Amino acid sequence: MNRKYIFAAFAVAAAAVTLITAGCKSIEDEPAAAVNADVTMTSLTTMEKLTEALSETDTELAEYKDEINGTAESAVPYEPAVSAGGDTEPSETSADSEIEARNEAANVESISLTFYSVTLEAGQSKMPIVTMFPENASDKSELWESSNPSVASVNELGNITALSEGSCTVKVTSAQNPEVFAEVEVTVTAGAQITYIDGILVVNKTYALPAGYNPGVNSEAQDAFDRMQSDAAAEDINIYISSGFRSYDYQAGLYQRYVDKDGKAEADRYSARAGHSEHQTGLAFDLNSIDDSFADTKEGKWVSRNCHRYGFIIRYPADKEDITGYKWEPWHIRYLGEETAQAVYDSGLCLEEYLGITSEYAD
């Protein structure tokens, strides 16, 4: 409160008390006969002045109160709270609903690919980009398969590799929802020559692969080896891949180093020229020590007795060098698939004998 108004109020109150007291004393001192006399009293004039002063003070106090209230109202405007929708609580916003929906696990409903048809030359590869919807699907794992793996193969990542002239369909399926899938129509043109005999990709000194043939490790062969390795380990047999897929360029450098070391004639007995190596197919593996001594180890003996059960053969058997074109390699296995590998094993023949083909360089 403004100090001048407080002091004025106290002053007026004090004066009033003094005058009243004085008036009462004056009346008590007068003789009884004068009490009701018709005379003008000084105390009445004083009272009038007191009343006027009090009235002015009340007016000033009222004005000050209005001033205070006006200041308070301008400083903090009062806005009554209004409940959305009357007396009920506000409803959940659409944004909250969307966030909640995104946080909930969802099933795959559709698959989109960057292409649905492709034409490749044998030896070429191409991989479509896969998008699964909705975005918040809990499991976007992919399952890939080819309707004809001899025409075009596909690995677990969806990389399609053209193998031989023809057409097939490559299909990707949602692992979470098998009813959802997408397909790529694949057409393979001849391009550079790749040889299949009875469905078997053939690579030796007679039959070569083009420099651009670069499929990487064959996923089916890798899976078969993994199963074989696991079963061998259960029998305390430790087998592992020391050399798998090799590109055309890598093989060219490797072969040249052997030629520089031992001469061309000797190198041709144990190393393939670029384009003539089975390692370029992604279907051949060298195991463990890559040495003749491997045959006498428990691992070498186990592989010789059992690898056909997993789809592999010992590609270059003993005493077959004049037919295969390569010296004995007990560590080198080639994947053919379980049925064909079993048939070759039971025949006691090397692959060239089994297919009735040669293995000789043209020069």
Q: 138 with 105: CB under 8 angstroms?
A: yes
C-beta neighbour count of 258 within 10 angstroms: 17
139 CB neighbour count, 10 Å cutoff:
13
Contacts with 74 (C-beta within 8 Å, 6 or more apart), sequence order: none
DSSP code for 72:
H
CA distance 201 to 151: 11
Of 121, 329, 339, 352, the active-site residue reads: 329
Tell me, yes or no, if 329 is annotated catalytic. yes
CA torsion through residues 231, 233, 237, 241, sign: positive
For 169-238, give the DSSP string. Answer: EEEEEESS-TT-EEEEEEEEE--S---EETTEE--SSSS---TT----S-HHHHHHHHHHHHHHHHTT--
Residues 6+ apart with CB under 8 A from 66: none
Q: What amino acid positions are annotated as catalytic residues? A: 329
